[in-house]
Structures are given as C-alpha cells and as structure tokens.
Amino acid sequence: DGGITQSPKYLFRKEGQNVTLSCEQNLNHDAMYWYRQDPGQGLRLIYYSQIVNDFQKGDIAEGYSVSREKKESFPLTVTSAQKNPTAFYLCASRALRPSGANVLTFGAGSRLTVL
C-alpha cells in the first residue's frame, strides 16, 4: 500500500538537543512538506521541497533544517535554536502533475515533547 510514514510517533528530548524526525513516502510524489501544529492551532508551514536537492523556507523555518537527498525522504531536524519545539509535526506530500488534483497526503504525525 502506498503511503507516507512518519517516525517516531512520540519523541521526548531534553532542552538543547537536536532531534530529527523522519518522513518517508512511497507514492512517487514530487513535493514534500513539513507543518507544525500547536494545541488548538492550525497548521503552519515550516519547509517544503518540490524537487530532490532543493527546498524552500515556509512561514516558520527558524530553528529547523531539512534535507532532500532522495525523492522518497524529507527528514526534519529540530535544532536547539528552536525556542519552543514542543509540538505536533506533520509531514505531507503531493504530486505536481500539470493536470489533476495534486492534493496533499499527510502522515500520521510525530509528537515532540521537550523536557
């Protein structure tokens, strides 16, 4: 079955530590996205990538870094520079065909808690 997998589902880290969240898709989608969701809040775009080896900052990129070395993978690193990293992180992907819906498919999310 095709889908998008995020891991781990739950992650606890001490303040000041970097942490990397994994996102893998086998949908052959071109573009991948990372969102942050705080309790009772909407989805805020952190970073996105439309092609391998290229990515762009979203609305809240400070304190985060990404890489896109393979089409299937788009890991997100939450660095110690992120002042308030505790949140629910969602990865998504979509195709970029000239015609067609090209809507987002989301992973199940990773909940990061910084102690």
- Note the residues at the interface with another protein (CB under 8 A): 33, 35, 40-43, 45, 48, 59, 90, 92, 101-109, 111
- Which amino acid is residue 114, in one-letter code? V
Nearer to another protein by C-beta: 45 or 52? Answer: 45
Minimal distance in Å, beta carbon 37 to another protein? 8
Minimal distance in Å, beta carbon 79 to another protein? 23
Going by C-alpha positions, the residue among 41, 47, 56 that lies closest to residue 86 is 41
Q: How many CB atoms lie within 10 A of CB 57?
A: 13
Nearer to another protein by C-beta: 16 or 100? Answer: 100
CA angle, residues 76, 86, 95, in degrees to nearest 5: 35
